[in-house]
Every structure is written in C-alpha cells, then in structure tokens.
C-alpha cells in the first residue's frame, strides 16, 4: 500500500509541475523495477488567487511496467482488493487540482 500511496503522490506532484510549465508534458517515475509514465495535457490553466492556482484541469493516458515488483504488487492487490496489476496495464485519467501557495497541492485524479 505504501508503494501505491507513494506513486499517487508522485503523480500529483508531476501533474502540478506539468501544469505550471506547459500545456502538454510527459512525466515518469521509476523506483526499484516499477516504471510509470503519464503524459499530461492541460485543458484549463485554472485561476490565480494570490500565490494559489485553483481549477487546473487536464487529462492523458498512463501505463506502468512492473519489473521485479510484480509479485509485491500482486500480494498488495490480494490483501487490499485494489486491482494494482490491472491498473498497471494502463488506461486514461482526468485531473482537477489546486496548486497551493505553500507547496501543498490538492485535487482529484
């Protein structure tokens, strides 16, 4: 479960970076045999409120390569009921989030 939480945190951080710098960007995260890619296309830059940007929106596809961590992910899927191996096959996502002035970003992916 920690790997999934870490992965979600990396996704959110990369989305915030992508939205701040360009309309379309590809980002990846890799750690001990787990490689994740998710190109992000910004569809709404949001609105600036002081140092905070709210309502940033975008979408894109995602995919993952499990490598040597496939057995760990299968065990976590069995224990939690979350279909991690199916998720790793890829798909599409949408995101709406706020880039906080203090470095705390929140949103829904």
CA geometry: angle 81, 90, 82, nearest 5 deg? 5
pLDDT tens digits, 75-106:
888 999 988 878 888 999 999 999 999 989 99
**CB atoms inside a 10 Å sphere around CB 76:** 18
- The whole-number pLDDT of residue 72 equals 81
- The whole-number pLDDT of residue 22 equals 41
pLDDT band for position 74 (cuts 50, 70, 90): confident
Could you give the C-alpha distances from 58 to 3, 31, 36, in angstroms and in order? 24, 25, 18
- The whole-number pLDDT of residue 65 equals 84
Residue with tokens 């979408």: 59
pLDDT tens digits, 13-46:
545 444 444 444 554 554 556 788 889 999 999 9
What region does 5 belong to: left with phi over 0, alpha with psi -120 to 50, or beta?
Answer: alpha
Tokens found for residue 98: 């706020």
Q: How many residues does the chain have?
A: 109
């Amino acid at each position: 479960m920690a790997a999934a939480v870490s992965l979600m945190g990396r996704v959110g951080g990369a989305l915030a970076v992508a939205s701040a710098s360009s309309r379309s960007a590809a980002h990846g995260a890799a750690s001990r045999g787990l490689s994740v890619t998710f190109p992000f296309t910004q569809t709404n830059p949001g609105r600036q409120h002081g140092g905070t940007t709210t309502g940033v929106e975008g979408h894109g596809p995602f995919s993952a390569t499990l490598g040597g961590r496939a057995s760990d992910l299968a065990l976590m899927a069995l224990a939690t009921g979350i279909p991690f191996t199916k998720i790793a096959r890829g798909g599409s996502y949408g995101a709406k989030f706020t880039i906080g002035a203090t470095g705390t970003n929140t949103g829904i992916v």
